[in-house]
Structure 1
Amino acid sequence: MKLLIDMNLSPRWSNVLAAAGIEAVHWSTLGENNASDLEIMAYAGTNDYIVLTHDLDFSAILAATHGEKPSVVQIRTFDISPDVIGKQIVAALNQMASELEAGALLTVDTNRTRLRVLPLQQKH
């Protein structure tokens, strides 16, 4: 599993994830700081990364495009510090690894973790 950490998260996430045995790179080491979410998603998809973000735009992109990859992990808490939610994120990544490799949207907040398989389908 390889994670691409979005600009809206601290580069410290790289070390927290690496300590848990998860390969991770912060976008600031790969591309422009002002890159669009679409550019980040394209890079992640082409290079087999899972996007870790605090931004709801990535799930909106998946919904609008009916994308099957890349997987997206959304942190939905007020405090997005790896010191506060890092252990919960690592646990969710490990628990949902096979689903994320296949294509999924994983949302993690302090109370629960929700998984949706890609492509996202509209509820009727």
Structure 2
Amino acid sequence: MNFLVDENLSPRVAELLAKAGHDAVHVRDLQATSAPDTTIMQLAAADGRTIISADTDFGALLAHTRATEPSVILVRELVELRPPDLVNIILANLEVLEQHLHTGAIAAFTSSGIRVRGAPFALKSRRMAPRRFRRRAAFAFASVNRALCVVQPYLPQARGVDSLR
């Protein structure tokens, strides 16, 4: 496989992937350090590379642009590992992930497993008809990232799972 290792990871990750027989480069090798994420995505897509990064912005950018490439391996929760340990985890799971990554996917490695989300990444929006309420409505807003905000109604009588009964 072809990989582009982001600047938030050690160049040693690219070296070890290359030693394992993969075509891997670090953004430093492409003189793209401090380049915007959109530039990194363009470089990866142009060369058919999967981005390996600890930066969650790539997933948000893919969703915002509705792009299907490049694929991203997100290792944010494993960034504290030494490069050889990180590469061993990626390589141990690559056979399962390879098919998904070739067709467009985000694979997020966590301490408890791997989550894979296939392309298209964009959230489907539904038009909602405006409604009037007789009572004042309260909402809780949570900003997930630059492209996603979650809005939930404030329900003081609801107490987690018990409110479903």
Verify same fold: TM over 0.5: yes
TM-score of the superposed pair, with normalisation by structure 1: 0.90
- 1:1-124 residue pairs with structure 2 within 5 A? 1-77=1-77, 78-122=79-123
- Render the CA deviation track for 1:43-82: whole Å, top value 9, x for unaligned: 1111111100000111110111111000011002251432
**RMSD of equivalent CA atoms:** 1.6
| Number of equivalent positions | 124
Which portions of structure 1, spanning 4 or more consecutive aligned residues, are displaced by more than 6 angstroms? none
Moved more, 111-120 or 18-27: 18-27
Partners of 2:34 and 2:22 in 1: CA distance = 26
Q: Is the 8 A contact 2:73 2:106 kept in 1?
A: yes
SS of equivalent to 1:4 = strand
Q: Which has the higher contact order (CA 8 A, sep 6+)?
A: 1
Work out whether residues 64 and 122 of structure 2, in 8 Å CA contact, stay in contact via their aligned partners in 1: no
The aligned amino acid for 1:59 is G
Equivalent pair of 1:104/1:117 in contact (CA under 8 Å): yes
Contact 1:5–1:53 at 8 Å: present in 2 too? yes
Letter of the 1:107 counterpart: A
Percent sequence identity over aligned pairs: 35
